[in-house]
Amino acid sequence: DAGVTQSPTHLIKTRGQHVTLRCSPISGHKSVSWYQQVLGQGPQFIFQYYEKEERGRGNFPDRFSARQFPNYSSELNVNALLLGDSALYLCASSVNRGGDTQYFGPGTRLTVL
């Protein structure tokens, strides 16, 4: 079975631009979560979506938004990019929300110049 996939692998943007990151969960998984990991730190929670509804939001500004589609894939959008948004963006999926094991994708490396 294919694991969690993310696209693109790498991305370079300039300050003020907008970016869209994509995630496809493992087949049969209904929950998708997004995390931001800056160098040397653990991942920080951004959003959780379950059955196409937002179920949790971390401490990130409104420039960050996301959605989940009927096929359970998800997009993370970031507007008005700042240098500090440079990070590895990780997507995780699980069968249901709550106590199931979360499986992570390889991440998208975003560099903001």
Q: Does 30 bind other proteins (CB under 8 A)?
A: no
Which one of residues 21, 23, 29, 33 is an interface residue with other proteins (CB under 8 A)? 33
Residue tagged 């992570």 (tokens): 104
User: Which region among 11-19, 52-60, 61-69, 78-86 touches other proteins (by CB under 8 A)?
Assistant: 52-60
Whole-number CA gyration radius for the chain: 13
Nearer to other proteins, 11 or 16 (CB): 11
Q: How far is the CB of 5 from other proteins (least distance, A)?
A: 10
Q: Does 43 bind other proteins (CB under 8 A)?
A: yes
Which one of residues 28, 40, 70, 84 is an interface residue with other proteins (CB under 8 A)? 40
Residue tagged 């990019």 (tokens): 81
| Cβ atoms 91, 78 nearer than 8 A | no
Q: Does 103 bind other proteins (CB under 8 A)?
A: yes
Chain contacts with other proteins (rule: CB under 8 A): 4, 33, 35, 40-45, 48, 55-56, 58, 88, 90, 92, 97-99, 101-107, 109
